[in-house]
Amino acid sequence: MSTMQPVYLDADWALSQIGDVETLNGMIVMLEESLSRDIPLISAHFQAGDVVAANRLLHGIKGFVPIFCREAFCSRVVAVEALSKDSHSTSAGPAYEALRPDLEQLLADVNEYLNGGGL
Amino acid sequence: MDIKRARVLVVEDEKIMSTFILGNLRRLGILDLFALEDGTAALRDMASIKPDLIVTDVHMQPMGGIEFVRRLRAASNAQLANTPVIFLSADSSAATVGEALPLGVAGYIVKPPSLAALNAKVELALNGPKTPKRP
């Protein structure tokens, strides 16, 4: 059993919104799948100049992070997603790269949660 | 109508959000639930599902929620065409909300919805506004 404290994942907050541990645990598995797939993919889209595709994935993350994380973190995702609404944006890619380590920290929190057996 | 007896169709392409919405509808006691991934699938299956209420995302591929509801409202079957709709989206921009509201929707909720907000909008969509009792 690990003793690492999560930085961004707030399982108690998520449980209060989801209602039961079984659904929460299922959704955290989905969160792990989504973040593992999309974090590098968003970078790849920005690097390829496809801001629209990057925005589509960021938009999804923006929608679900408030289920699992507190507002301070969510507002940073909202800000980057907002920049990426402009398909010609040159600032959205660098803003995402600045956010990416924190999304990776969230993914690390999620893996820690899953390895520790959940709530 | 007792909302617990309602048949609700959730149209959402994001798996986490779909699970969250379906779970919260179950918490409200609504058990007759259907889920589809975009407007094309919803239009295809509307006639067989015959939902009392639709809860739909806005941004989906290949057909988003606004286009779906626009086509639904133009359906020749009046009962289907008038199905109450609640939009659920992470997009709260004035442009998108302004496009959605003229479609005769019962609500526009910004994701993720709180249980109380979902309950209030579902109740409103199925039963209309509650009028205060006179003293």
- Point out the residue among B14, B23, B115 whose CB comes nearest to the CB of A63: B14
Report how many domains make up chain A.
1
| Report field, pTM of the whole predicted structure over 0.80 | yes
**Cβ burial B78-115 (10 Å sphere, 16+ → b, else e):** eebeebbbbbbbbbeeeebbeebeeeebbbbbebbbeb
| A77–chain B nearest CA distance, Å | 12
Q: Does the distance separating the beta carbons of A19 and B23 come in below 8 Å?
A: yes
pLDDT at residue B133, as a whole number = 62
pLDDT at residue A69, as a whole number = 97
Residue B83 lies in a domain: yes
Question: A49-80 pLDDT, tens per residue?
Answer: 999 999 999 999 999 999 999 999 999 999 99
Residue B135 lies in a domain: no
Q: What is the CATH number of the domain that holds B51?
A: 3.40.50.2300
Range of the domain at B102: 3-125
Residue B44 lies in a domain: yes
* Residues of chain A with confidence (pLDDT) below 50: none
Those of residues 30-89 in B touching chain A at CB distance below 8 A are: 59, 61, 89
All residues of chain A having their beta carbon less than 8 Å from the beta carbon of residue B115 are 17, 19
Report how many domains make up chain B.
1
Range of the domain at A95: 11-115
Give chain B as a DSSP string.
Answer: --GGG-EEEEE-S-HHHHHHHHHHHHHTT--EEEEESSHHHHHHHHHHH--SEEEEESS-SSS-HHHHHHHHHT-SSHHHHT--EEEEES---HHHHHHHGGGT-SEEEESSPPHHHHHHHHHHHHH-PPPPPP-
Residue A3 lies in a domain: no
Q: What is this model's ipTM?
A: 0.90
Residue B82 lies in a domain: yes
Residue B133 lies in a domain: no
Residue B34 lies in a domain: yes
Interface test with A, best of B10, B12, B13, B16 (most A CBs within 10 A): B16
Those of residues 36-75 in A touching chain B at CB distance below 8 A are: 56, 59-60, 62-64, 66-67
Tokens read off for B80: 């289907």
Per-residue pLDDT of chain B (135 residues; tens, 9 = 90+): 999 999 999 999 999 999 999 999 999 999 999 999 999 999 999 999 999 999 999 999 999 999 999 999 999 999 999 999 999 998 989 999 999 999 999 999 999 999 999 999 999 999 987 666 666
The three state secondary structure string of A59-90 is HHHHHHHHHHCCHHHHHHHHHHHHHCCCCCCC
Q: Which residue of A lies nearest to B24 if distances are taken between CA atoms?
A: A18
Residue A1 lies in a domain: no
